[in-house]
């Protein structure tokens, strides 16, 4: 699970029905916005004349098969709750 409050981003995990345990440091979520990057001007054969910044934070689940083993991932549950700052 991840939780953001303001710009503080925290990750949690749990096993089975146990309690959620915080893992890793508190991260700065403000770098996941359009205002953070400086953009790039890139010329390439594909006719792109410029590459902008990241377009904002998104919520979702994803998995990548970075080893090329054609493995899949199944998600049986996803929940989003809007938390107030505090």
Check whether 21 has a pLDDT greater than 90.
Answer: yes
The span from the CA of 55 to the CA of 53, in Å, is: 6
Question: What pLDDT does 49 receive?
Answer: 46
Question: What pLDDT does 9 receive?
Answer: 87
Q: What is the pLDDT of residues 25-84, one digit of tens each?
A: 999 887 766 555 555 555 554 544 445 555 666 777 778 888 888 888 888 888 888 776
pTM of the entire predicted model: 0.51
Tally the residues of the chain.
86
Q: Backbone phi, then psi, for 23, in 5-degree steps?
A: -125, 145
């Amino acid at each position: 699970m991840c939780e953001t409050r303001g710009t503080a981003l925290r990750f949690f995990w749990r096993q089975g029905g146990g309690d959620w345990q915080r893992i890793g440091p508190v991260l700065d979520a403000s770098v996941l916005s359009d205002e953070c990057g400086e953009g790039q001007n890139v010329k390439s054969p594909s006719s792109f004349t410029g590459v902008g910044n990241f377009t904002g934070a998104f919520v979702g689940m994803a998995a990548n098969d970075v080893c090329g083993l054609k493995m899949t991932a199944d998600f049986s549950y996803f929940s989003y709750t809007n938390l107030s700052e505090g």
